[in-house]
Amino acid sequence: MLNRRLIRVKVLQALYAYHQSEVKDKRSAKSFLKKSILGIEDTFINVMQFASELFLFVKMKHNPIDKHLKAKDEEILNYNLLSKNSCLDLMETHPLTRDIFSQPSYNWTRDEDFMVLIYKQISDADWFREMADGYSEDFEKNKQFLAHLYKYLVEISEDFSIKMEEINIHWQDEKIPVIKSIEKLLKTCKVDGEDMEVPLISKDIQDDLEYAEKLLDLAASKHEKYEELISQRTPEWDSERIARMDLYIMVLAIAEFLEFPSIPVKVTINEYLELAKIYSTPQSSKFINGILDKLLTELKLEGKVQKSGRGLVE
């Protein structure tokens, strides 16, 4: 199952696009949402393939022996670290993972300037220098190097993030589940290739899609009803003065209060407050928290919040 916060982000984005569209088409909104969720796996593949393309690029374009009669030891060491890796070789050929590196994706090699830029940045990075000092062709060392490389690309390199945002505008939302999946994959890599496990971005993609589509459908179809609930608790606020993003966030939270019996109310509130901090104004989370807290208390008294399941009955 995908991280529910990421799914909520996807739903919020789809809901925002739906309301901004001149033609309110829920079918198109759901299609956008589904494509956005399924696109996370494409992002995973793009990042995985980058390392493979980088190693090939270095091997073909930056062999120091081809450029100097007597290459410096440092240049040779850099080349060795970024041109051959037994763990990467295993993943590229293993029956369970080779498709990751052969599926159509972004063509990294066509952007030679970018490959040179990242190659130079990696070569100058402190973690790279530390790995170079203890260079070894040992499989575990190679696996450790790959783990550092992917972590650097996803979490540290600003240029790599900029490029990924050009490829996918949702990169900042997706990069955490992507790096977690890469880390899980690398942990299962062994020199004999046994017990290799490809972590799924989602353990039950159908369940994730059903949750996302139901949440979007409720927020769109019952928007006026939920907005009225909010307006009743904000008499000093004209609904038109409430930031649109704040309103959409509260509408989604109300949908979860009323229509998702297995999701604890505390989880709902905490998750949407976090989204408010990221996607709305600096004051939004405090404002939203006050409204949702008051609304939730009244809905409970009216018996409209029904949670079921272990630890959820209130």
- Higher pLDDT: 2 or 143? It is 143
Predicted local confidence at residue 65, as pLDDT = 72
- What would the pLDDT profile of 198-209 be if each residue is shown by its tens digit? 877 777 889 999
How large is the average pLDDT for residues 200-226?
A: 92
pLDDT > 90: percent of the chain = 68
- What would the pLDDT profile of 167-191 be if each residue is shown by its tens digit? 998 899 899 889 989 999 999 999 9
Predicted local confidence at residue 139, as pLDDT = 95
Ordered by where they begin, the domains of the chain are 4-14+25-187 (no CATH), 222-301 (1.10.940.10)
- Higher pLDDT: 200 or 231? It is 231
Predicted local confidence at residue 313, as pLDDT = 44
Predicted local confidence at residue 66, as pLDDT = 64
Predicted local confidence at residue 34, as pLDDT = 94
Predicted local confidence at residue 138, as pLDDT = 92
What type of residue is 250? M
How large is the average pLDDT for residues 54-62?
A: 91
Per-residue pLDDT band at 311 (split at 50, 70, 90):
very low
Q: Examine the pLDDT at 314 and tell me if it is beyond 70.
A: no
| Angle separating helix axes 86-93 and 139-151, nearest 10 degrees | 80
Predicted local confidence at residue 16, as pLDDT = 94
Q: Examine the pLDDT at 31 and tell me if it is beyond 60.
A: yes
Q: Examine the pLDDT at 148 and tell me if it is beyond 80.
A: yes
